[in-house]
Amino acid sequence: MKLTTIEPQQPLDQLASGGRIGLISLATDFNIEADLQRIYPAGVEFFTSRVKNINPLTIDNLRSMAPAISAVADSILPGTKLDAIIYGCTSGTIAIGVERISELIHKNRPGVAVTNPVTAAMAAFQRFNARRISILTPYTEAVNLEVADFFNTQGYQVLNIAGFGFEDDTAMSYISPQDIADAAVASCDVNAELMFISCTALRACQVIDEIEKRLNIPVVSSNQALAWHSLQLLNYPHNVSGFGRLLDSHLTD
């Protein structure tokens, strides 16, 4: 048997030349990867590792995933530089804490830029100079109270919050985009400056343009905000059309 070593004749390709993003997704999330795949432009790639979470979705169960986050972050392309890491859970970020999420990721991936749906959403609210917000979620009333209380403590006025009452994270992705659009329009307070649709499992990105046309105010969803904020962290120089005003007009200065 003859063994041969072949030397490539061409320079090695620079894959993900527009940026490499690590994604920490919930084990039960059916949707976040599909949304990011739709939104990210060519050359920007994300690489997923999943953290185990527990149904039903409660604040205590959300907090229980914290001890695994550091190891999950370390498992994303080990030894390869990442430009940013996303922790992909809105209610989980509120339950565990924004700063704690970053600390857990930086334990094994020091120095990398970190975002999450809450940080990204608040950056989007600031970009639109919006303080009075309506919120739509798939969550139960108990979780919605925690979500509303959090944003109120951050200086926003949550005029109202409506939820579909789901406890199963996977089942949240089964809610139709049209039901999401209709619920957002029906539940939005007339005095709201912005509608926030919370949860990476909701397929809201597909109907953001429709909701904005019907409400005539900006609409921010968890995955849209994550895509926008992570592209900002990459210094991506172009807007992205088809997913609301945030990406269409507010990605570049």
Q: What is the pLDDT of residues 86-128, one digit of tens each?
A: 999 999 999 999 999 999 999 999 999 999 999 999 999 999 9
pLDDT reading at 215 higher than 70 = yes
SS3 letters for the chain? CCCCCCCCCCCCCCCCCCEEEEEEEECCCCCHHHHHHHHCCCCEEEEEEEECCCCCCCHHHHHCCHHHHHHHHHCCCCCCCCCEEEEECHHHHHHHCHHHHHHHHHHHCCCCEEECHHHHHHHHHHHCCCCEEEEEECCCHHHHHHHHHHHHHCCCEEEEEEECCCCCHHHHCCCCHHHHHHHHHHHCCCCCCEEEECCCCCCCHHHHHHHHHHHCCCEEEHHHHHHHHHHHHCCCCCCCCCCCHHHHHCCCC
Please give the Cα distance from 197 to 67 (Å, whole number): 27
> Would you state the pLDDT for residue 129?
97
pLDDT at 231 over 80: yes
Burial class (CB in 10 A: 0-12, 13-18, 19+), 87: buried
What does each C-alpha distance from 245 to 29, 119, 124, 170, 185 come to in angstroms? Answer: 25, 18, 10, 28, 17
pLDDT cut 70: percent of the chain above it: 99
Task: Report residue 252's pLDDT band, with 50, 70 and 90 as the boundaries.
Answer: low
How far apart CA 114 and CA 97 sit, in angstroms, is: 13
Q: Is 3.40.50.12500 the CATH number for 19-116+225-240?
A: yes
**Delimiting residues of CATH 3.40.50.12500 domain(s) in the chain:** 19-116+225-240
Average pLDDT, rounded, for the chain: 96
Write phi, then psi, for 159 (nearest 5 degrees): -70, -35
Q: Tell me: pLDDT of 253 over 70.
A: no
- Dihedrals φ, ψ of 187, to 5°? -95, -10
Q: What is the pLDDT of residue 13?
A: 87
Tens digits of per-residue pLDDT, 143-168?
A: 999 999 999 999 999 999 999 999 99
Q: What is the pLDDT of residue 14?
A: 85
- pLDDT one-digit tens code per residue, 9-26: 999 888 899 999 999 999
Asked whether 96 and 57 are in contact (CB, 8 A), the reply is no
Q: Residues of CATH 3.40.50.1860 domain(s) within the chain?
A: 119-221
Under 8 Å between Cβ of 250 and 228: yes
Residue range 119-221 in CATH 3.40.50.1860 = yes
pLDDT band for position 135 (cuts 50, 70, 90): very high
Q: How many CB atoms lie within 10 A of CB 205?
A: 26
Provide mean pLDDT across the span 212-229.
98
- Return the closest-CA partner of residue 195 out of 214, 177, 170: 214
* Residue 251 confidence (pLDDT) above 80: no
Which range (29-38, 187-196, 214-223, 242-251) has the least confidence? Answer: 242-251
Q: Confidence band (pLDDT; 50, 70, 90) for 220?
A: very high
**What percent of the chain clears pLDDT 90, i.e. is strictly above it?**
96
Selection from 218, 242, 245 nearest residue 35 by Cα: 242
Other Cβ atoms within 10 Å of 229 Cβ, number: 25
Q: What is the pTM of this model?
A: 0.95
Q: What pLDDT does residue 249 have?
A: 85
pLDDT, tens only, 74-96: 999 999 999 999 999 999 999 99
Using the predicted structure, report yes or no on whether residue 138 has a pLDDT greater than 70: yes
